[in-house]
Amino acid sequence: MNPHLLARGASKTIAIVIAVVVIVAAIAGLAAYMSQQPPAATTTTPTETTPTTTSPSPTTTTPTTTAAPPPKKLKFVVIGKSVHPYWSVVEAGVKKAGEELGVEAVFWVPKTENVQQQLSTMDTYISEGVAGIAIAPSDPDAAAPYIAKAIEKGIPVITIDTDAPNSKRLAYLGTGNYKAGWLAGLAMWQLLKEKGYVKPGATVKIGILTGSLTARNSLERIAGFKDAIMNCSQKDPDIKGNIKIEFLGPYNDKEDPVQAFNLALSVIQGNPDIAGVFGVYAYDGPAWAKALKQAGIPPGKVVLVEFDVTSDNVPPIKEGYAQVTVGQRQYFMGYLGVKLLYNMTKIGWEKALKQFIPGYPENKIYDTGVDLVGAKHMEFTAPTGEKVVILSLEEYKELAEKLGIPPELLGLG
């Protein structure tokens, strides 16, 4: 269930409760079958006793025994895309799961997005023979042969954050990116309308900035965002299709925040009549905000919809440059990802996956969900008929605490 598509009259408290229940149910499901597993065997070292003598006797040698080495910890690896506060939240989830399970949970990312570096690192871990791998592939098609190699070697592989559906990955654990982009588009339409940009006969320019034109999560978010806006333009009773939507981009910054800022500034300066901007990746929103400020555009004149809630994304909302951000639950991509891999090693791949993902193997996707977050609480019905809820920063902080996510990791401390 999506916490934002609520029945008419739903309260903001219900929105938070539903969001909590979705994640808690997943954790409870994992815990239920984890608790059924027998405890790890305990290794004891036999004690050697040296016989004593009361009279001279031939010299005897006391047998030397070597204690059996402690059992080797299972090692699970989670591979992200780049160094960024977003991935720091994923890492926190990975480390927490490792601590709870008593396993070695390794998190790795390249400094900036680099397909070859990401895949060569994965190949190294495959050769090492780790117990399981979760990866957010920067290029899903390029990652497919490496995923197949791991599976053939008996190493379970799941994808997080970005899916690789055409590969042999066992499951995808993360955001339903098309749906998340769709929600971002619904929010954009509502905010543009409130500011007077949406009116019969108008031309509305919307800029899009992203970190990849190959990563599936990027492409799906953009598709969902555009589709939602175009659907609204046709179904809004005040417009009835009598409007021109001009999408600028998507511009590819290749996950480089500096390049993102330069592209954003260039788009804004070249289009003084721009009405809205969308940041597909976490740092894209702050890049748009910085560019708007640099260009001398006052807060709130241009509608900015961001993606993710991090220490970088919250300030633009507080300053008024961003109105809404799409909060992913990336902490649970890392946390539940490690726990799922662990259980696959304990009770078998298929059994673990069937217990965790409803409808497996026909359905191999577990949607961790998203939350729309803004400076204030909002509720509206989109032209598509969907009820949309936007949580305030304070409400989102409360949600994070209930889910066990340290608010300071999200910039809400």
Quick one: tokens of 318? 């507080």
Q: Where are the domains of the chain?
A: 75-175+329-369, 177-327
- How far apart are alpha carbons 321 and 300 in whole angstroms? 5
Query: Is 75-175+329-369 assigned to CATH 3.40.50.2300?
Result: yes
Q: Which residues have C-beta within 8 Å of that of residue 278, sequence separation ≥ 6?
A: 184, 188, 206, 207, 208, 209, 225, 284, 304, 305
Question: Under DSSP, is residue 106 helix (H, G, I), strand (E, B) or coil?
Answer: strand
Peptide bond into 56 cis (omega under 30): no
This prediction has a pTM of 0.78
- Ordered strands of the 172-174 beta sheet: 104-108, 75-79, 132-135, 157-160, 172-174, 365-367
Report residue 197 as tokens: 């940009």
Is residue 78 within 8 Å of residue 134, measured between CB atoms? yes
Confidence at residue 216, expressed as pLDDT on a 0 to 100 scale: 85
- How far apart are alpha carbons 323 and 344 in whole angstroms? 41
Strands 132-135 and 303-307 come out as unpaired
Show the beta-strand stretches assigned E in 75-149.
75-79, 104-108, 132-135
**Beta carbons of 294 and 276 less than 8 angstroms apart:** no
Q: Do domains 75-175+329-369 and 177-327 have the same CATH topology?
A: yes
Buried b (16+ CB within 10 A) or exposed e, 232-251: bbeebeebeeebebebbbbb
Block mean pLDDT (10 aa), the chain, length 413: 36 50 53 41 30 35 45 92 92 96 98 95 98 96 98 98 95 96 99 98 99 91 99 97 98 95 99 99 97 98 97 97 97 97 98 97 96 97 98 95 88 89
Class of CATH domain 177-327 = alpha beta
